[in-house]
């Protein structure tokens, strides 16, 4: 919770797109936080002091048993409220209007016709015209509470936009936070900046300064250890801590030998030579390979790597005399997930590798300076800290590294083959200027050999699968539509330049039903 900035409170009713509300608002330089509806009460609001409140959408029906509702103290604050979708419905229901249950869903693109002017869309939409929005709802408002006017209608929603200008309460049946509502961000700007009068004083430069002073206050003169993986999050944490506490920080880089080509050296030279950060580099390649020998099951691979990582990290930390604090790159989406009233995903698809087991085992307290940030904000902070662009803009790379890109047995030779193919693939993507358009691109080495012909000889070598996806958060993804010529050139180069591969395929599966990694 930031007391220094004007802030907006997003009350979460469980919509899939609640996070987008917070992102859009922060893009407007207004700080905001998401809190589950059932964690809010008067004392919370006393501390939070919102300049305005947004009630998110959600999957429930106001007619359901124990339907989620906004805490009554929200309506006693005298600050503007915007209800989105379910948020509009509960606003209406709680203020004395009526919502009608319906089996008919209005989903996707729709048009709202503006009936009268309203401060929510001042200088954006004008009465008499129709504008494109994105809808996703079943129930709909039937009668509006006293003091409200109908401002906009759509074919399926006679109360698509309602407002009580005097109290500054607004309800929209559509979702302004998604890009499919083209003017949505401007509506949110009107709401936060003009109606709530939030000053828009939140920037990465101010975040950096505040984060540095918070770290200093938290750790005092204690020692801090940071696990460095070469990824964006841990790199940003390390550089931020270095600015905050300098010599009290030691970074530990456990080199498990499952990194991409040249990556380990890049990490060492950037942090040790460029930033002059105290860095322990533990070469544990042989140890990891030895323990992975003969392990074929993907979950077993992950568990082996996770356990070894903790053992090695713990050992190295002891060697340097331990520390009171462990720095971690926990991000805002992880925080929201862990406090969400719907809980996290109920089924474990893959057991993720992180340093989660470390703090308990090593009895360390946590420093998590990125807890309030989204991934793209972490990148912006990295730029603010002068981290080189090739680090900041890097595609995400999983903790267990190339181990989950080699189905079947992991051997040194297979790792080398994969590293060579991956290097060519990324090199061509960068040359084509497509790297930043893609969320993640990587090669996978399949444990399948096929017959090929090279010159006059028969070959019997591995198949390499290429994967490239677009995504905003890794939760869902689409395959990237390369031009045929480019993908052909990449395949040609890999088969010609990498000994061990004689066939290349391109993965066109989206997520779901596929996952991004192959395991
Ligand atoms: P999947 O394969 O589950 O991956 O669709 C979604 C995103 O998560 C990354 N990933 C991981 N990241 N530790 C990480 O830090 C892990 O164990 C891990 N497994 C998958 C994956 O690269 C993709 O971006």
pLDDT digits (tens, 9 = 90+) for 110-150: 999 999 999 999 999 999 999 999 998 888 899 999 999 99
Q: Mean pLDDT over residues 317-329, rounded?
A: 91
- pLDDT band at 47; cut points 50, 70, 90: very high
CA of 399 to the centre of ligand 1 (A): 8
Question: Which residue of the set 5, 33, 85, 226 is catalytic?
Answer: 85
Distance CA 19, CA 261 (A): 35
Please state, as a whole number, how many other Cβ atoms lie within 10 Å of the Cβ of residue 16: 13
Cβ–ligand 1 contact at 400 (below 6 Å): yes
pLDDT at 350 over 90: no
Q: CB-based contacts of 282: which residues, under 8 Å, 6+ apart?
A: 252, 253, 254, 255, 312, 316
pLDDT at 179 over 90: no
Q: Is residue 2's pLDDT more than 60?
A: no
**Strands 161-164 vs 149-153: parallel, antiparallel or unpaired:** antiparallel
pLDDT > 90: percent of the chain = 77
- Please name the residue whose Cα sits nearest to atom 21 of ligand 1: 398
Q: Where are the beta strands (DSSP E) in 115-172?
A: 130-137, 140-143, 149-153, 161-164, 169-172
Instruction: Check pocket membership of 396 for ligand 1, CB cut-off 6 A.
Output: yes
Query: For residue 160, what pLDDT is reported?
Result: 95
Asked whether 351 lines ligand 1 (CB < 6 A), one says no
- Per-residue pLDDT, averaged over 39-53, amounts to 96
* Band of pLDDT at residue 352, cut at 50, 70 and 90: low
pLDDT band at 360 (very low <50, low <70, confident <90, very high): confident
pLDDT at 21: 94
Cα 402 to ligand 1 centroid, rounded to whole Å: 12
Q: Are 165 and 191 in contact (CB under 8 A)?
A: no
Mutate to test the pocket of ligand 1, among 306, 516, 519 (most ligand atoms within 8 A of CB): 516
Q: Which parts of 232-319 fold into alpha helices (H)?
A: 232-245, 263-268, 285-292, 298-319
* Residue whose C-alpha is closest to residue 7's, from 53, 76, 71: 53
Which amino acid residue places its CA nearest to atom 18 of ligand 1?
398
Give 464 Cα–ligand 1 centroid separation in angstroms.
Answer: 20
Element (H, E) at 7: strand 7-12
Q: Whose CA is nearest to atom 11 of ligand 1?
A: 398
pLDDT at 382 over 80: yes
Task: Report the pLDDT value the prediction gives residue 344, as an integer from 0 to 100.
Answer: 40
Q: Which residue has the higher pLDDT, 499 or 361?
A: 499
Burial 119-150, CB ≥16 within 10 A → b, else e: ebbeeebeeeeebebbbbbbbbbbebbeebee
Annotated catalytic residue 85: yes
User: Which H or E run includes 447?
Assistant: strand 440-454
Which ligand 1 atom lies nearest to the CA of residue 352?
Answer: 17
177 is catalytic: yes
Answer yes or no: 35 catalytic: no
- What average pLDDT does range 486-506 have in this prediction? 98
Ligand 1 within 6 A of CB of 116: no
Q: Residue 200 in contact with residue 52, Cβ under 8 Å? A: no
In total, the chain counts a number of residues equal to 519
Matching residue, tokens 């730029």 = 383
Structure confidence at residue 304 as a pLDDT band (50, 70, 90): very high
* Average pLDDT of the residues in 202-213: 92
CA distances from residue 484 to 59, 72, 429, 480, 509 in whole angstroms, order as listed: 41, 58, 13, 12, 17
Name the active-site residue from 5, 175, 281, 353.
175
Confidence of residue 362 (pLDDT cuts 50, 70, 90): confident
Query: What average pLDDT does this structure show over 303-315?
Result: 92
Q: Is the pLDDT of residue 104 over 80?
A: no
Token duo for residue 44 = 């919370």
Of the pLDDT bands very low, low, confident and very high (cuts 50, 70, 90), residue 341 is low
User: Tell me, what DSSP letter sits at residue 511?
Assistant: B
Phi-psi category of residue 384: left, alpha or beta, with phi > 0 → left and psi -120 to 50 → alpha: alpha
The C-alpha angle 148, 151, 152, rounded to 5 degrees, equals 135
Query: What pLDDT was estimated at residue 424?
Result: 98
Q: What is the mean pLDDT of the chain?
A: 92
For residue 140, the model assigns a pLDDT of: 86
Which of 347, 352, 405, 514 best tests ligand 1's pocket when mutated (most atoms within 8 Å of CB)?
A: 352
- Which is the catalytic residue, given 33, 88, 106, 177? 177
Going from the Cα of 219 to the center of ligand 1, the distance in angstroms, rounded, reads 31
- 294 C-alpha vs ligand 1 centroid, how far in Å? 23
- Any atom of ligand 1 within 6 Å of the Cβ of 509: no
The pLDDT-based confidence of 345 (bands split at 50, 70, 90) is: very low
Q: Where are the alpha helices (DSSP H) in 56-127?
A: 86-94
Task: Write the CA distances from 231 to 30, 207, 249, 395, 399, integer angstroms.
Answer: 28, 21, 18, 8, 9
Residue with tokens 């307290």: 365
**Ligand 1 pocket: which of 474, 477, 511 to mutate (most atoms within 8 A of CB):** 474
Instruction: Please report which confidence band the pLDDT of residue 343 belongs to, taking 50, 70 and 90 as the band edges.
Output: very low
pLDDT tier, 66 (very low <50, low <70, confident <90, very high otherwise): confident
Neighbours of 409 (CB within 10 A): 13
pLDDT 10s digits, 143-168: 999 999 999 999 888 999 999 999 99
pLDDT (tens digit, 9 = 90+) per residue, 383-398? 999 999 888 999 999 9
pLDDT bracket for residue 476 (50, 70, 90):
confident
Dist CA 21 CA 54 (whole Å): 9
């Amino acid at each position: 919770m930031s007391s220094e900035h004007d802030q907006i409170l997003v009350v979460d009713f469980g919509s899939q797109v609640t996070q987008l509300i917070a992102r859009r608002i922060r893009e407007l330089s207004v700080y905001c936080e998401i809190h589950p509806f059932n964690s809010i009460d008067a004392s919370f609001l006393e501390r939070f002091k919102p300049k305005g409140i947004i009630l998110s959408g959600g999957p429930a029906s106001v007619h359901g048993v124990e339907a989620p509702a906004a805490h009554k103290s929200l309506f006693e604050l005298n600050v503007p409220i915007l209800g989105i979708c379910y948020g509009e419905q509960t606003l209406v229901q709680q203020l004395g209007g009526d919502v009608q249950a319906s089996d008919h869903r209005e989903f996707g693109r729709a048009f709202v016709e503006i009936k009268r002017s309203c401060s929510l869309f001042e200088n954006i939409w004008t009465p008499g015209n129709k504008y494109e929005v994105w809808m996703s709802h079943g129930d709909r408002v039937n009668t509006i509470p006293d003091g409200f006017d109908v401002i906009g209608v759509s074919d399926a929603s006679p109360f698509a936009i309602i407002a009580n200008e005097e109290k500054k309460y607004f309800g929209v049946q559509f979702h302004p936070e998604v890009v499919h509502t083209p003017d949505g961000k401007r509506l949110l700007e009107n709401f936060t900046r003009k109606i709530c009068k939030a000053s828009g004083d939140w920037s990465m430069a101010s975040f950096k300064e505040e984060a540095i002073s918070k770290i200093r206050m938290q750790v005092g003169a204690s020692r801090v250890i940071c696990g460095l993986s070469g990824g964006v999050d841990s790199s940003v944490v390390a550089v931020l801590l270095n600015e905050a506490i300098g010599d009290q920080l030691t970074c530990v880089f456990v080199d498990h030998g499952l990194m991409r080509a040249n990556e380990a050296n890049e990490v060492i030279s950037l942090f040790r030579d460029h930033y002059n950060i105290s860095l322990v580099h533990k070469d544990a390649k042989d140890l990891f390979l030895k323990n992975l020998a003969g392990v074929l099951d993907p979950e077993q691979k992950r568990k082996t790597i996770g356990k070894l990582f903790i053992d090695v990290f713990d050992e190295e930390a002891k060697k340097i005399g331990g520390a009171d604090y462990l720095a971690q790159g926990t991000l805002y989406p992880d925080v929201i997930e862990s406090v969400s009233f719907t809980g996290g995903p109920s089924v474990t698809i893959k057991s993720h590798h992180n340093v989660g087991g470390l703090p308990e085992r090593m009895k360390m307290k946590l420093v998590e300076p990125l807890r309030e940030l989204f991934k793209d904000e972490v990148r912006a902070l990295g730029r603010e800290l002068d981290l080189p662009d090739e680090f900041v803009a890097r595609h995400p790379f999983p903790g267990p590294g190339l181990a989950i890109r080699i189905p079947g047995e992991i051997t040194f030779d297979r790792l080398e083959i994969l590293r060579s193919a991956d290097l060519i693939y990324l090199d061509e993507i960068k040359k084509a200027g497509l790297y930043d358009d893609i969320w993640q691109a990587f090669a996978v080495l399949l444990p399948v050999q096929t017959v090929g012909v090279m010159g006059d000889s028969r070959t019997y070598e591995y198949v390499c699968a290429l994967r490239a996806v677009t995504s905003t958060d890794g939760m869902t993804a689409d395959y990237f539509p390369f031009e045929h010529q480019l993908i052909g050139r990449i395949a040609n180069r890999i088969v010609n330049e990498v000994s061990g591969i004689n066939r290349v395929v391109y993965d066109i599966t989206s997520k779901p039903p596929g996952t991004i990694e192959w395991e």
